[in-house]
Every structure is written in C-alpha cells, then in structure tokens.
Amino acid sequence: MSATPGQSTKGADEVADPTQTDPDKYRVVFENDRVRVLEYRDEPGQQTSPHDHPDSVMVTLSGFDRRLIAAGGESREVTLEPGAVRWLDAQTHSGENTGSTPTHVVFVELKEPGDRSDVEGRLGPS
C-alpha cells in the first residue's frame, strides 16, 4: 500500500518511527529511558515519508523552509532561523524541504506522553 504525502499506511496502534521511514535523514545520537535524541538532515527538494513524533523539543541548527503535511492532508509552511528552539506536540506528518538550503535539526523526543486533551489539530512547532 502506498501513501500520498502526509497519509500514513500504518495501523491505528502502529508508530511510524522516522529512523525507519527515512533512515537516510534521521539518526539516533543519544537514547535512554526518558528521551531519544535524533539528528535530522536533508537537502533542498527532498521529502520524508509519513512518520510520527512524540512530544519533542526541536533545535534548529541551520535555517530552513519546509512544508509539513499532516496525516489528514492539512499543510503548513514553516520557516525557522538557525538557533531556533521550539516545542513540537506529538504528531504524524511528512515534510518537504522547500527552501534553497540544507536542513539540520536535532529533536529531543520525550518518552513520557503528556496531556493530549488540548493539542488536537496542531501541526508543526509552536
């Protein structure tokens, strides 16, 4: 089964780990029982497969422009400057580097889920 951008092929209880969906872009740089730290890199024009992120802190090491596409098809254009630090609510999305520069980001993923009651419909960093 193939997926369109932002549309996942996983079952309701499955998690699409970005290190599995896009191993050429994501790599684990640290992990313990509380957090997992991922490094992400891509080039202009590259896209990711639909994948999941738990609640995370995103540290932007290089500025970038990208389009994020939610599992339901909603999209959001995001521009972040180098050094930006943002909260990322748990979500499923795919992304595309729409800019002219490579993306270099670190995600600190939390392994203990927070309260999900007020985050429905959020996409991208806040």
Per-residue confidence (pLDDT) for residue 15, from 0 to 100: 80
Q: What percent of the chain shows pLDDT beyond 90?
A: 74
Interval 46-65: pLDDT, tens: 999 999 999 999 999 999 99
Contact by Cβ (8 Å): 84, 62: no
The hierarchical CATH code for the domain 18-110 is 2.60.120.10
Interval 75-98: pLDDT, tens: 999 999 999 999 999 999 999 999
- Report d(CA 50, CA 73) in Å as an integer: 11
CB atoms within 10 A of CB 91: 19
- Please tell me whether the overall predicted TM-score, pTM, comes out greater than 0.85 for this model: no
- Residue 106 pLDDT > 80: yes
Per-residue confidence (pLDDT) for residue 8, from 0 to 100: 43
